Structure 1
Amino acid sequence: MHGSASSLSATLSSWLLVLLCAVSGAYCLRRAHGWSGAAAGEAVMGFGMALMAVPLGGGGAWRTPVLGVVFCAAALHALWLLRGGAHHAHHLLGSLTMVYMTVAAVSGGGHGHGAGLPLLTGSLLLYYAGYVVLGGTRLLTAGGPVPASSVPSASPVPMPVPVPAPGAPTELVRACRLAMGMGMLAMLLSM
């Protein structure tokens, strides 16, 4: 009885991770303009993470080579985007992390337990834990100061409302990136 409740909980959490990553991938795909930008790479990562998290039980031998090709292509795409600035290094690391987890799942018999190199897995866990904490902090502070019109003030001079810079990520984009970071952290924790 205990084993079946634990199995049901693991299956439910896997499907929730699939949903989270698929929704993030769909949003990134919606905001992508062609395949040249970072949003396209984020969409591929979101859908790939969703596919990787699908609990297939013993089946799915086709999944590993397909995921390996997808994540290697995403790594090459991120490497290409890296020419434009160092802010694409996170996408490259994410793609390479997914390649690592795909290879580790094969070498660990597909169960995820005991697979991978402990030092590398621990380093990636630290990176993604920091990424999630920093991303959550940025998301919490993204709204900026409260507009003057909603705060009662004794001063007759209204305070300026901050306007985001053109091309600056919105709260929804930050939330999407945070969700994928949490998904990556969850996948690494299951190794």
Structure 2
Amino acid sequence: MHGPASPGWLLVALCAATGAYCLLRMRSGVEEQRGAAGGEALMGFGMAAMAVPAVVFSPPGWVWPAYAVVFGAAGLRALWAARSARHHLHHAVGAAAMVYMAVVMAAAPAHGHAHGASGTPVLTGALLLYFTGYVLLTGVRLVPVVAVAGGGAGADGRAAAGWGDRPELARACRLTMAIGMLAMLLPL
């Protein structure tokens, strides 16, 4: 899917590290965090596998339909979960983008990671626009606010959240994958 191998490997490392962190977030004591982290781990590892440079590994033809099925199911699950939490809509869009890329790659000559594969320009453009907006909005939300001085407790006296339950880390995880999605959609 990518031209030179170096950016491809950087994308693989970024997505795999994000997927690994999301697996660690699945140990959270908060049910909502665990559910979201599982979908994000699947997305991170799936993106990492899809981003492996073609000079290293060209997957067999059956891989792309399998991606479409796996991420189609993940998208349906995210749509179902969106009834209770709005951020699951983003997971559904991400899964739909993965299905779209898998379909494009399945139709590409020799089922390779073809640079400039022929996706639908309107759909590719809409996904690029969505993920660009998501990256910008999430980036703004990550801008630090003035921290309240204190020990290990929050401003209201409650204990500070564990590292796996911190919402800014979950946002950073989603931001990382949205940037990776942009990098994967650009060659289409």
TM score, norm. by length of structure 1: 0.78
| Percent pairwise identity | 50
Query: Residue 181 of structure 1 aligns with which residue?
Result: 178
Q: AA paired with 1:21?
A: C
Indicate the SS of the match to 2:93: helix
Alignment check: 8 A CA contact 2:65 2:106 kept? no
Indicate the SS of the match to 2:83: helix
Q: Which runs of 5+ in 1 are unaligned?
A: 1-6, 150-159
Instruction: Tell me how far 1:41 sits from its aligned partner.
Output: 0.6
1:64 and 2:67 correspond = no
Query: Residue 96 of structure 1 aligns with which residue?
Result: 96
Q: Give the root-mean-square deviation of aligned CA atoms.
A: 2.8
Cα gap change, 1:53 to 1:89, in 2 (>3 Å): same
Query: Residue 81 of structure 2 aligns with which residue?
Result: 81
Query: Residue 167 of structure 2 aligns with which residue?
Result: 170
Cα gap change, 1:83 to 1:14, in 2 (>3 Å): same
1:144 and 2:138 correspond = no
Instruction: Tell me how far 1:63 sits from its aligned partner.
Output: 2.6
Alignment check: 8 A CA contact 1:128 1:181 kept? yes
- The CA distance in 2 between the partners of 1:66 and 1:188, in whole Å, is 19
Indicate the SS of the match to 1:86: coil
Q: AA paired with 2:174?
A: R
Q: AA paired with 1:29?
A: L
Instruction: Tell me how far 1:161 sits from its aligned partner.
Output: 4.8
Greater shift after overlay, 161-170 or 13-22?
161-170
CA deviation string 1:35-84 (max 9, x = no partner)? 97111111100110001001133721143133222212211221221232
Q: AA paired with 2:172?
A: A
